[in-house]
Amino acid sequence: MPPLSLSRRNRAVIAGAVALAVWPVNAGHAFHWPWQKDKAAAKAAPKPASQKPAAAEKPPADKKLASDEKPVAFKCDPTTFRIIVDVGHTAESDGAMSARNVPEFQFNLRLAKRIVDGLKSGGFPETKLLVTTGKARPSLGRRVAAADALKGNFLLSIHHDSVPDKFMENWEYDGKASHFSDRFSGYSVFVSHSNEDFKTSLTFAKLLGRQMKAQGLQYATQYAQAFMGHYQRELLDKDVGVYAYDRLIVLMHPQMPAVLLEAGSIINRDEEVKMASVERQDMTTKAVTSAMKQFCFGAQPQVQPQTVAKSQPEASNQPQPAAQPAPREITSVPEQNSEPQASSQSPPK
């Protein structure tokens, strides 16, 4: 059971649906929500003592204050700001399965590479791609350790969404019995109150949600609903789709602000096709890059509803880096070479 503040009613609702926690239809599903099976890894995840993020302002230690959810002023030098773009899951434990039987990891890797290229060509030359290998559970602690070892200033984890098994329907695709759910779609953005820099994480999350919305995209609203049971989340920004996901390892433990983007649903048959398209990948990349520029140049996220979608609203009024550095080769960081210190998890040899 997750250490989340579910209501008694919700506990009762989910009491008879414990099987949801393992999402048995697709084995990879279980680790789409990694903390479900990784409480031990959460406790054991290494916490390097040094390497403070380069945030302009730090939140107070007390994470219970309601004011923690207000955006903070944040500025950075984009030429030195190191963004870690984390590819969700691994080739061995590849996350959710799409309606057409393509593992989530493939979607994550393709989109993350595109985002890295977009950030580098957009004036963030220090951006790094983080690819982790190995089984799901031990990979989570190593993933965080690798991000810390890279001395990242910000972690953005890229995922694609699915649904709990109870929403799955059967169909046949390419001659194979398959599963889909067209009921839900959309992106969503997650932050953890347990991150050491929750305020800064939330500031970027809101900017990212606003830019996704500006691309004409809708966020996934189901996570705010009681029928999601185990998977219900606190909606922190109902305008642009930012949720709290407090016990997620990749958001809790990095020594830097961290945000997880579910770029869209790959169990929805229509949205899966869109997620595979260059056009949609470019929309997401543009949203991330625009949000990061606003973030770095100190823009405050606005929470008022935007009735008119705008494309790259920052383009005309944001200062641009003096030079557009040429895109570099993407840096892949297998975790075997980046374990910064001993932990209770034995790294693979």
Question: How far is it, in rounded angstroms, from Cα 135 to Cα 127?
Answer: 25
The distance of closest approach from Cβ of residue 264 to Zn ion in the complex, given in angstroms and rounded to an integer, is: 12
- Tell whether residue 143 is a contact of Zn ion (CB under 5 A): no
Burial of 65 (0-12, 13-18, 19+ CB in 10 A): exposed
Map the footprint of Zn ion across residues 283-342, applying CB under 5 A.
Answer: none
Q: Which of 159, 179, 213, 286 binds Zn ion (CB under 5 A)?
A: 159
Quote the least distance from Cβ 245 to Zn ion, whole Å: 12
| Structure tokens given for 134 | 């190995």
| Cβ(6)–Cβ(17) below 8 Å | no
Residues 329 and 285: their CA atoms lie apart, in Å, by: 18
**Nearer to Zn ion by C-beta: 31 or 198?**
31
Smallest distance, Zn ion to C-beta of residue 129, A: 16
Q: Is 32 in the site for Zn ion (CB under 5 A)?
A: yes
State the residue for tokens 């923690």: 68
Q: Any contact of residue 213 with Zn ion (CB under 5 A)?
A: no
Angle made by CA atoms 182, 216, 98, in degrees to the nearest 5? 30
Q: Which is nearer to Zn ion, 262 or 314 (CB)?
A: 262
- Smallest distance, Å, CB 301 to Zn ion? 25
Pairing of strands 258-265, 188-191: antiparallel
Binding mask 233-262 for Zn ion (x = CB under 5 A): ------------------------------
Q: How many residues bind Zn ion (CB under 5 A)?
A: 4
Nearer to Zn ion (CB atom), residue 188 or residue 294 = 188
Beta bridge partner(s), residue 244 = 191, 234
**Which class for 188: exposed (0-12), middle (13-18), buried (19 or more C-beta within 10 A)?**
buried
Rule CB under 5 A: say whether 95 interacts with Zn ion. Answer: yes
Smaller CB separation from Zn ion, 95 or 141: 95
Least spacing, CB of residue 163 vs Zn ion, in Å: 12
Least distance from Zn ion to the Cβ atom of residue 106, Å: 12
Q: Which is nearer to Zn ion, 32 or 151 (CB)?
A: 32
- Residue 54 or 266: the one with the smaller Cβ distance to Zn ion is 266
- Shortest Å distance, C-beta 260 to Zn ion: 8
Site for Zn ion contains 103 (CB under 5 A): no
CA distances from 286 to 201, 252, 283, 291 (A): 19, 26, 5, 8
Residue nearest to Zn ion (CB): 159
Task: Compute the distance between CA of residue 89 and CA of residue 106 in angstroms, rounded to an integer.
Answer: 10
The nearer residue to Zn ion, 77 or 92, going by C-beta atoms, is 92
Rounded CA separation 60/45 (Å): 23
Q: How many Å apart are CA 345 and CA 144, to the nearest integer?
A: 13
Count helices and strands (H / E) in the chain: 8, 9
Pairing relationship of beta strands 83-87 and 242-244 according to DSSP bridges: unpaired
Cβ 3 to Zn ion shortest distance, Å? 20
Q: Residue 148 Cβ, how far from Zn ion at the closest point, in Å?
A: 21
Q: Footprint of Zn ion on residues 65-94 (CB under 5 A)?
A: 88
Of 20-28, 157-165, 225-233, 248-256, which segment contacts Zn ion by CB under 5 A? 157-165
The contact set with Zn ion (CB under 5 A) reads: 32, 88, 95, 159
